[in-house]
Amino acid sequence: MTYCLNLDCQKDKRQNPPGTKYCLNCGSKLLLKDLYAATEPLRDGGFGRTFKAINHGKFEEMCVIKQLSPPQEFQRKPGHFKKYVRLFEQEARRLYELKHAQIPQLISYFEEDGRLYLVQEFIDGYNLKDELEKQGSYSESKIRELLLDLLPLLKFVHDRNVIHRDIKPENVIRRDRDRKLVLIDFGVSKQVVAATPNKTGTKLGTPGYAALEQRHGKAVPASDLYSLGVTCIRLLTSVMPYLDIYGDIHDDLYDPLEGRWLWREALPKGTKISQDLSQVLDKLIQEYVKDRYKSAVEVLQALKPPIAIVSPPNKLQPGNAVNRSQQSDVVTETPLISVKLESEKGIDYSQLQKLLEDKNWRGADEETSVKMLEVMQQKSRGYLSEEDIRKFPAVDLQTIDQLWVRYSHRRFGFSVQKNLWVKLGGKPGVYDATIWEKFGDRVGWRIDNEWVYYSELNFTSKAMPGHLPGGTVFGWEGGVLCGVLGLGGLWFLLSRRDL
């Protein structure tokens, strides 16, 4: 069906048969720019309407059309409307420049028949509010995974002087094809409305998620972090704000008299949240900016991720059982020959070699993280982006991997981990939650369906194949969130053909 976008068209008569060029009810043109045809409404908000659509100019590909509604102040005066169009174009260009795998690509933006439109990539998946309703309250591990996915994305956005302004479960979609979280609705129209003539302190964002300063028209990067923190506690508790019959908002998770969030009291029975995650969440949702994290990097540095407990061979659970022959498998064909300490970037790997030779596995693990940051000149940032991982010099990657393989007698190393991932059915570079959990069980990073802390990893030569290096993925005590690579970055590393 083709859906009519004319606001004056009778609602129950807006559907038209496929291929119809003009609405059978009101006669309005149905194809925007003779390319984009709306098929069904998705959302209707205060700043515009969103529709699922077909891009006839690109192999009938699915897309999303957002029809923006200019404020009354702009509509009354032609001069103001021209300013609105100019501001819209400026903000649309900024959105177009946000090229990131977890942000829907902007396909086009234009004015037609006195209305403004954005056309964006369609993300196939469920938003986190829908996911919450289907699967129930989030666990600590799911909240950590969420932070792992979204904090680097927010750093990317904030580094480009963009503030999202409306982070909430409905605006985060878990993409079906790779299970990555995608941030939608960057609110181009909201940012333009903020510049409405004769209006100051325009309130932007969603009640129950927007920070104090944002409610007074002064959004900063920490405002997005506040909304992210509130999103986390709502997913943990399943408590959402709601409107009563008079249109007033109520929020059982917040006590306005004491000015504090009551999320601990609202946790489902049996839910356990570690002290370090609790402290991070508490600081994210502080009322005043001065008491909050100022950047996504600060949160990354403060959060200690959960890492797998290593299970002794005789205590493995039946569901996670790995037989003794599996534990001693030779999982790489790399011969045990001497390793040349080669580096494209002039990095000295002699200390890593010495630590491995002395069987100082923990020291070698931490040294590996340090050297990988040094290779890409990211020691101050503390982690590698997906682009860094793709560009990581093959010579250096092979030197690090070969050192681990040689001195562990083919037990540890990135190539060992890649081999195991593929053997378990994983596809290099593709996230699969089921395979990832199997992989965690197989290498000893998971037990009883829980991921725990790095300090409890097994830093002995008897650890399961692929158990180390671990710090590159998970971080170390007092270290950055999810180490150098992070869980997401691991897929990009395992897709390298030079391993």
Enclosing domain of residue 438: 306-494
Mean pLDDT for 160-165 is: 88
176 found inside a domain: yes
Nearest to 469 by CA among 402, 425, 404: 404
**Percentage of residues in the chain having pLDDT higher than 90:** 46
CB 446 within 8 A of CB 440: yes
Residue type, 294: K
23 found inside a domain: yes
Cα 116 from Cα 377, distance rounded (Å) = 43
The last residue of one of the domains, among 82, 106, 121, is 121
Instruction: DSSP letter for 12, please.
Output: G
Q: How confident is the model at residue 499 (pLDDT cuts 50, 70, 90)?
A: confident
In this structure, of 185-194, 219-228, 357-366, 470-479, the range with the lowest mean pLDDT score is 185-194
Q: What long-range pairs does 211-214 form, CB within 8 A, spacing at least 24?
A: 211/289, 212/287, 212/288, 213/289, 214/165
**One domain for residues 387 and 455:** yes
Q: What is the CATH number of the domain that holds 211?
A: 1.10.510.10
Instruction: DSSP letter for 239, please.
Output: -
**One domain for residues 211 and 233:** yes
Q: Hey, what's the torsion of the CAs at 331, 446, 324, 364, to 10 degrees?
A: 50
pLDDT digits (tens, 9 = 90+) for 424-468: 888 766 667 788 888 888 998 887 777 766 777 888 988 999 999
CB 419 within 8 A of CB 496: no
| DSSP-H helix ranges across 124-211 | 128-135, 140-159, 188-193
Residue 319's pLDDT is what?
37
Apex 364 CA angle, 360 and 365, nearest 5 = 120
**One domain for residues 41 and 76:** yes
Neighbours of 261 (CB within 10 A): 22
12 found inside a domain: yes
105 found inside a domain: yes
User: 358: alpha, beta or left, given left = phi > 0 and alpha = psi -120 to 50?
Assistant: alpha
Apex 150 CA angle, 440 and 272, nearest 5 = 55
Is pLDDT at 495 greater than 80 in this prediction?
A: no
**One domain for residues 198 and 343:** no
**One domain for residues 197 and 313:** no
The last residue of one of the domains, among 121, 148, 179, is 121
Residue 243: enclosing H or E segment and its boundaries?
A: strand 242-243
414 found inside a domain: yes
446 found inside a domain: yes
The last residue of one of the domains, among 121, 145, 174, is 121
Instruction: Please tell me the total count of domains within the chain.
Output: 3
Residue 320's pLDDT is what?
38
| DSSP-H helix ranges across 358-432 | 361-375, 386-391, 394-407, 414-423
Residue type, 166: D
Q: What is the CATH number of the domain that holds 382?
A: 1.25.40
**One domain for residues 329 and 408:** yes
499 found inside a domain: no
**One domain for residues 358 and 345:** yes
8 found inside a domain: yes
**One domain for residues 79 and 136:** no
**One domain for residues 132 and 101:** no
Residue 175: enclosing H or E segment and its boundaries?
A: strand 172-175
Question: Can 166 be counted among the known catalytic residues?
Answer: yes
Place of tokens 């491995």: 356
**One domain for residues 448 and 339:** yes
Higher pLDDT, 296 or 1: 296
Query: Tokens at residue 266, please?
Result: 């609202």
**One domain for residues 262 and 331:** no
Q: What is the CATH number of the domain that holds 16?
A: 3.30.200.20
**One domain for residues 293 and 314:** no
CB 117 within 8 A of CB 91: no
CB 98 within 8 A of CB 159: no
**Of 166, 224, 365, 396, catalytic:** 166
Cα 128 from Cα 312, distance rounded (Å) = 36
Higher pLDDT, 190 or 351: 351
Cα 370 from Cα 364, distance rounded (Å) = 10
Instruction: DSSP letter for 410, please.
Output: S
CB 453 within 8 A of CB 352: no
Higher pLDDT, 487 or 25: 25
Which residues are bridge partners to 172 per DSSP? 183
CB 108 within 8 A of CB 55: no
Residue 473: enclosing H or E segment and its boundaries?
A: helix 471-474
498 Cβ neighbours under 8 A, 6+ residues apart? 394, 397, 398
Greatest mean pLDDT among 186-190, 418-422, 487-491, 494-498: 418-422
Mean pLDDT for 90-110 is: 85
